[in-house]
Amino acid sequence: MDLKIAVLPGDGIGPEISEQGVAVMTAVCEKFGHNVTYEYALCGAAAIDAVGDPFPEDTYQKCMAADAVLFSSVGDPKFDNDPTAKVRPEQGLLAMRKKLGLFANIRPVETFECLIHQSPLKEELVRGADFICIRELTGGMYFGEKYQDDEKAYDTNAYTRPEIERILKVAFEYARRRRKHLTVVDKANVLASSRLWRQIAKEMAPQYPDVETDYMFVDNAAMRMIQDPRFFDVMVTENTFGDILTDEGSCITGSMGLLPSASTGEHTPVFEPIHGSWPQAKGLNIANPLAQILSVAMLFEYFDLKEEGAMIRKAVNASLDAHVRTPEIQVEGGAKYGTKEVGQWIVDYIKKA
């Protein structure tokens, strides 16, 4: 198979983890006989510094011409600490989602047996937790009509039937491929937009008779994720709720450095770690590359290259079991491994497998 990948390293630790993701992808392609080419492009603060735009036209064109995008992170303190900044790195991420039509964000929440002790939850609660959060990504308050003056501000949480139907279709189909349980998360007791979500979900559910569909208010869902995370299989919700719940879910594993994600929709899919740019760690060779590497596994699986994805997951698990880990998840007294060393260990494992 021929694969053309747009690589967007972005800011902070992005270039360091991106390098490891590309190395792993190259190793897998060599092993399985695929041809892969890479096109690098700017985004975020790096793009603002270079051309004044967090998602330049050149980057957009490279993304559209690619089969998939391997993205890392955006964000820089010099913008975070300047409330007057008109252009911000995160605007590049929103622009990418909007221009590529990436309406579905897929975030797996999966525990690793050897790291369960690092979870903030009790082991008996978190062991075996394995679910997917599907977040609508291009609608709701983040993209709705906005207003602000010194006395009043509002953000409009608007959704249309086609927007809701297409994300629910993604969710039902994921549930059908997994344990056939879908939880629709909303706030239908208060919000009109949520009532439309629930109405449409109830209309669509009979089309998927093999899927058990239930409905949960977002506050209850947040509580249930802590009390009983194993209850969930596939969870679907709107943009703002999804932003909050997916971050909550990421903490269950004990490290945000372990969780990948995919954003899919109308055009080129994007695969990225869920963590941010962690600018304080830039250049220190301490950032965990596993979420980026597992994003590569999701990329292969998106193209139905299941063996390739499984090979990466096997290599990641082997590295964890061998205590080849970056500092934040290393066992007490374990050897010191940095970003590069962990990535290289996984590449070597794949080549020898």
Task: State the catalytic residues.
Answer: 142, 187, 219, 243, 247
- Neighbour-count burial of 60, counting CB atoms closer than 10 A to its CB (0-12 exposed, 13-18 middle, 19+ buried): buried
Answer whether 340's CB lies under 8 Å from 21's CB.
no
Answer whether 72's CB lies under 8 Å from 273's CB.
yes
Instruction: Return the HEC string of 12-49.
Output: CCHHHHHHHHHHHHHHHHHHHCCEEEEEECCCHHHHHH
- Neighbour-count burial of 309, counting CB atoms closer than 10 A to its CB (0-12 exposed, 13-18 middle, 19+ buried): buried
| Cβ-Cβ contacts under 8 Å for 55 (sequence gap 6 or more) | 43, 47, 91, 92, 93, 95, 96, 99
End-to-end Cα separation, the chain, in angstroms: 20
Residue 223 to residue 221: CA distance in whole angstroms: 5
SS3 279: helix
- What is the per-residue DSSP string for 103-150? -EEEEEEE--GGGGGGSSS-HHHHTT-EEEEEEE-SSGGGTS-EEE-S
SS3 216: strand
Neighbours of 172 (CB within 10 A): 23
Residue 119 to residue 306: CA distance in whole angstroms: 29
| Cβ-Cβ contacts under 8 Å for 26 (sequence gap 6 or more) | 36
Residue 342 to residue 340: CA distance in whole angstroms: 6
Strands 260-264 and 270-273: antiparallel
Residue 242 to residue 134: CA distance in whole angstroms: 7
